[in-house]
A and B are shown apart, each in its own frame.
Chain A
Amino acid sequence: MMLRIKRVPTVVSNYQKDEGEDAARRGGGCGRNCLQKCCIPGAKLPLYTFKRAEEIPGDKCVLEHDDNQAPVAFLDSLLLGQWEDRMQRGLFRYDVTACETKVIPGRCGFMAQLNEGRHLKKRPTEFRVDKVLQPFDGNKFNFTKVGQEEVLFQFDASEDGEVQFFPDAPVDADSSPSVVAINVSPIEYGHVLLIPRILECLPQRIDRESFLLALYMAIEAGNPYFRLGYNSLGAFATINHLHFQAYYLAVPFPIEKAPTRKVTTLGDGVKISELFDYPVRGLVFEGGNTLQDLSNAVSDACIFLQDNNIPHNVLIADCGKRIFLLPQQALGEVSSELLDTQVNPAVWEISGHMVLKRKKDYEEASEENAWRLLAEVSLSEERFEEVKALIFEACSYTLSEKEDEHLTQGAGDDKPPLEGTGSINKGRNCNMVSGTQECLVLQ
């Protein structure tokens, strides 16, 4: 049996409904305690403020608890406690801990979960899946429509450089708060949504500030088993309102174990490697002289992909120290026989965590099946080389804006050749070399 790709979005909020139903009820006031103008004034939510990296001397990342022996970090406790609270209040569509889960035998260690409740039976309205950038549509479901009980806390940078927690802080619309909300169809315990600047109603697309916020969350949680993920439109994002997902699973993900081949180091110290011996081709970003450097490198790469209509997923792992970027084949190019209703190869599936709806599929789940499914959405080797080269060009273009004194070539000059290798050695001290550079293979 073949695991197939499905396109039916998941329900992430109890307030996500069919357009028809929603319109019919929009007659009077909301009365739902949502996050829109009707209910926000006077609303209060817990607030957690984190310390920004530049406010700490030295490398903040080095100070983090990066192994599972560290004491439970505060954000960890807050998130887990709030989540358990919502669980006991019955806000989730099912108890995810009652879903059987296992590691599929094999060398990769793919994980499979039998979850009959996650995917809807009927199909709610979708947006078009062939465009990565689409404008925000206030008529469709978005996160300002969720009930406040689904929001766990506000998450923002601290004003005075100290980590602080306020159990009952007013929601100040003018400060454009970011929030963490539950995903009512969780894939694992603690599955939440991080919604940057929720009231600004940003569409699902990466920008530097929002990505940095996601990175801060990974760092603050201080737990390498708490990972964040992002799906662009066209790569199985469910809702066109900017959000990241996150959950806990204290086992290594196959993608984290995959061998990598170093490709290059950017001038700001960000190291980029590529995955090999993994069904999906992708890049791994690490290092950077500062946190912002790492964050910006990934953001810029995503911005390039979204501007060029290339669907992609991002996984933030290892407390923010390793970030995986995976471009996907446009859905239209995946063979039609595979566009059936079984598995969404979104960021978690691509990372190696499969949620299966039918017992039969769960029992027969094998490494080969999983591999074959994921390989379907991977870019081909040729196409990946092209895209990789363009990503590096995008990153180096941004660097050239910073290094005025080294600006001997404008971005418009010498477009790199695209046949296969895309070498763009501009000879500057940003250490940009092409992907065909021979590199050591890590066993």
Chain B
Amino acid sequence: MEPPQLGLIEQSFNSRYSNWAREALDELPDNFTITDPCISGHPIVFASRGFLKMSGYSRDQVVGRNGRMFQGPNTCRRSVMEIREAIREERGVEISLLNYRKDGTPFWMLFRMAPVFGKDEGRVIHFVAVQVPILRRRQRRRNGEGLCGEILSNSCRREVCSSSSVELAGVSAADSDCRALEIEEKCEASDTEKQLAATAISNVLSVLTHYSESTGRLVCEKRFGPSLVSSSLHISLGRIKQSFVLVDPHLPDIPIVYASDAFLRMTGYARNEVLGQNCRFLTGVDTDPSALHQIKQSIQAQQACSVRILHYRKDKSSFWNLLHISPVRNATGKIAYFVGVQIEEGSVDRHGLSPEMRQLSVVGSIKVAVRSSSMSYSIH
């Protein structure tokens, strides 16, 4: 997986928040990261100084990467799943998690994440994640015994069992001795640590809200207003690299409700120029009307079709579009959208998949995304 271009990362932050935002964030003592779920790979776009110190990495090593880089063999998979689901459902989550520093040492931290919504878009534009190291060891005591776990050959385990030595040692020393221990236990954060997390999140969100005002692209902590396409679907669709649009046949004039970045690049339009428009803006003088007719008929018959149609970019240049259209149903079983997948005639796929197969795979991915995202009763 190639890391996304630095340009996109910079853009993610700078288009939202004024220049002073970075400074303000750098002044906060907390450990946190800001990620952008709409960029492929859901990368970190900002990491605080505290976070870099805690993890042992430099800024360059972290920005552009996904948070899983801090996970390791003993990170609880179920906890990772909970975080993944929170992202998908665009809500917050607070959970203890085992992470790994650059030098490979594991450490427990309280992970608290909150979504940041764009006021205009009504969907998540960033996630803020705060990490509070769990210093005080909270062990579960059963039957009056000390720590539970397995019989291990590590001889220092007994010494480490007593809480006094753990408190003296501090985090890093305790880590290397307790490595075997940490693997087994789930660490619960103290109330103090939870409070720290809550305060940190609040600090970061305040800064972001405040500094988004000057760019005019406001952000807020709660979703504001309806969105054309549900946010969790938006995130799934963002993974698909090919050119495609989703249109809604239930709205008047069948407008585009989603357009991929690749579509915008291919046609030369900006997103706000295409959303809400019917696809006919792509046609021009020499477009064959019978191809258009075929498309219209397929949509009415609720069937898939492939046409070769002459389309025009914003700069008026034309190209042959191998267009594939297919109905897409949601969890109710009824058609929710039609997808149009564009391939410019003559383009080649490095894997050797034929254009038809590439298009079909986009259709498949979208069908899975739309069906799944509309299943959960808890979303919207």
Contact = CB atoms under 8 A, between A and B. Distances in A.
Question: Do chains A and B stick together as partners?
Answer: yes
Interface of A: 59, 62, 65-72, 74, 76-85, 88, 95, 97-103, 105, 111, 114, 165-167, 188-190, 224-225, 248-252, 256-257, 260, 262, 264-265, 286-287, 318, 321-322, 425, 429, 431, 433, 437-443
Given A80-B365, A433-B151, A67 B84 contact: yes
Nearest to B329: A97
Contacts of A101: 331, 333, 371, 375
Contacts of A251: 372, 375-376
A102 B331 contact: yes
- Chain B CB within 10 Å, residue with most, of A68, A224, A321, A322: A68
Contacts of A105: 377
Interface string B73-105: 110111011001101100000000000000000
Given A100-B331, A318-B81, A59 B371 contact: no
Given A70-B1, A440-B148, A322 B77 contact: yes
Contact of A71 (B40, B85, B143): B40
List the 7 closest pairs (A to B, CB-CB), nearest first.
A80-B364, A69-B42, A81-B361, A250-B372, A77-B361, A84-B360, A81-B360
B369 interface: yes
Contacts of B151: 425, 431, 433
B232 to A, nearest CB: 9
A99 B330 CA distance: 9
Chain B binding surface SS class: loop
Contacts of A97: 328-329, 333, 367, 371
A98 B235 CA distance: 23
A67 B87 contact: yes
Given A83-B364, A85-B357, A442-B78, A98 B42 contact: no
Contact of B143 (A76, A224, A438): A438
Given A225-B368, A318-B80, 6 more contacts: A81-B358, A81-B361, A167-B354, A256-B78, A260-B78, A440-B184
Given A66-B68, A71-B40, A100 B1 contact: no
B364 A438 contact: no
Nearest to B74: A287
Nearest to B142: A438
B364 A71 contact: no
B77 A80 contact: no
B353 interface: yes
A429 to B, nearest CB: 6
A12 B84 CA distance: 33
Contact of B365 (A65, A72, A111, A439): A72
B368 A80 contact: yes
A189 B140 CA distance: 43
A57 to B, nearest CB: 15
Given A84-B363, A100-B331, A442-B76, A69 B81 contact: no
A110 to B, nearest CB: 12
Given A67-B42, A167-B354, A189 B368 contact: yes
B239 A69 contact: yes
Interface in B301-333: 304, 326, 328-329, 331-333
B324 to A, nearest CB: 10
A68 B239 contact: yes
B373 A88 contact: no
A248 B365 CA distance: 10
A174 to B, nearest CB: 25
24 contacts: A67-B68, A68-B235, A69-B41, A69-B235, A70-B66, A70-B239, A72-B365, A76-B361, A81-B361, A83-B364, A84-B364, A84-B367, A85-B356, A102-B375, A103-B376, A167-B352, A189-B367, A189-B368, A248-B368, A250-B373, A318-B77, A431-B150, A438-B148, A439-B149
